[in-house]
Amino acid sequence: MSRILLKDRNTRKNHKKLFGVIAVIFCVLVVLFYVAVAKSGFWLVQQDEFDHVKWAVVLDGQTADLERNDFAAKLMSEGKIDSIIILGRRVYRDKSNADFYAEDFMRLGRFDSSAVFLARHDDPSTISEAYTVIPWLKLHKVDTVLLITAAPATKRAVRIFSTLSGDNPVYLSADVKHHQYYADSWIFNRESRKNWLHEWVALAHSRWDLLGRDTLAAADSTYEKRIRSLTSEAEDEPFIDLSALLQKDADKAAKDTIPADTLAVKQDTAKADTVKSETVKADSAKKDSVKK
């Protein structure tokens, strides 16, 4: 009898231990879930504080809101950045996203065109963009660069550029605050959840891509001549304002066109002059015949 009771007691103790382990595991999972919800959204974002940097690089991939343009224009208006490089993929035979981005950017303020640079490219990824722009930055001895990209991609972009640059230049980044990603409540927003998952996978994949890659030097540039300011572009390929030309042609056409009522008066006048001339000729002929 005593053996049976002892066995029951051991069984109950084992059950309590099992329930305790399950409870601990559950609590750990709850804590991990809370951390994932509350903190992991911020782990993707690199928010650097700065007063002034000489250069900013706007990576391609803006939404239709052109939120990166707005962010860069605000910083340049406040005097926090001096010059900017706008990157963009080719989308037409002779047009790039960089052309459209730059056109919009220049509408946002009275910026010096010699401080706005274009980098047209066919790069499919952030790593490829880094290969395009890093040698140019090294060639021009840039020391600090602000990378402007989507908020959840900031940590990955800074790591890619820093690794391929050998930590020279120094790269900073900031959250552009766009509605497609909320770091503090990403789990409750569909677009934020998509971006959260995509960027964690991309961050892990970028570590694999960077394995064994050498740092870039100024001599590695193959795109140096393609990164030029809007001023240089205008000197080589003068901008033709088609709307102004069309308006000029329209004004000229309007000036050359005679109003209908004026034309009718002129026609009546010409007709009267013709009749008068013919009458005079007839009278003259009649007088000549009488004299004869």
Q: Is 127 inside a domain boundary?
A: yes
My answer on whether 133 and 278 are in the same domain is: no
Looking at the structure, tell me whether residues 88 and 142 fall in a common domain. yes
Please check whether residues 257 and 128 belong to one and the same domain.
no
Report if residue 188 sits inside a domain: yes
Q: Is the dihedral of CA 188, 189, 195, 197 positive or negative?
A: positive
Whether 231 and 249 map to the same domain: the answer is: no
- In terms of domains, do 221 and 251 share one? no
The single-letter code of the amino acid at 275 is: V
Same domain (yes/no): 221, 121: yes
SS3 content of the chain, % helix, strand, coil (to 5): 60, 10, 25
Cα 165-167-170 angle, rounded to 5 deg: 100
Q: Look at residue 114 and tell me if it is in a domain.
A: yes
* 97 in a structural domain: yes
Whether residue 96 is found in the same domain as residue 158: yes
Residue 120 lies in a domain: yes
Q: Do 162 and 34 share a structural domain?
A: no
Asked if the structure places residue 163 within a domain, the reply is yes
Measured in degrees and rounded to the nearest 5, phi and psi for residue 64 equal: -65, -15
Of the candidates 142, 125, 164, 123, the residue with the CA atom closest to the CA atom of residue 57: 142
| 131 and 165 together in one domain | yes
Alpha helices (H) along 210-259: 230-236, 242-256
Strands (E), 97-247: 116-121, 144-148, 170-173, 227-229
Same domain, 72 and 118: yes
In a domain, residue 57? The reply is yes
User: Exposed, middle or buried, 130 (CB in 10 Å: 0-12/13-18/19+)?
Assistant: buried
Q: Which residue's entry shows tokens 């010059």?
A: 83
- Collapse the DSSP code of 147 into the 3-class scheme (helix H, G, I; strand E, B; otherwise coil) and give the result: strand
Q: 115 in a domain, yes or no? A: yes
Q: What does the pLDDT profile of the chain (292 residues) look like in tens digits?
A: 555 545 555 666 666 677 777 888 888 888 887 777 778 899 999 999 999 999 999 999 999 999 999 999 999 999 999 999 999 998 888 889 999 999 999 999 999 999 999 999 888 899 999 999 999 999 999 999 999 999 999 999 999 999 999 878 999 999 998 999 988 888 888 999 999 999 999 999 999 999 888 888 888 876 655 788 999 888 776 545 555 556 666 666 666 655 555 545 555 565 555 655 655 455 555 555 544 4
Instruction: Work out how many domains the chain is built from and give that number.
Output: 3
Do residues 220 and 116 share a domain? Answer: yes
Length of the chain: 292
20: containing domain:
2-38
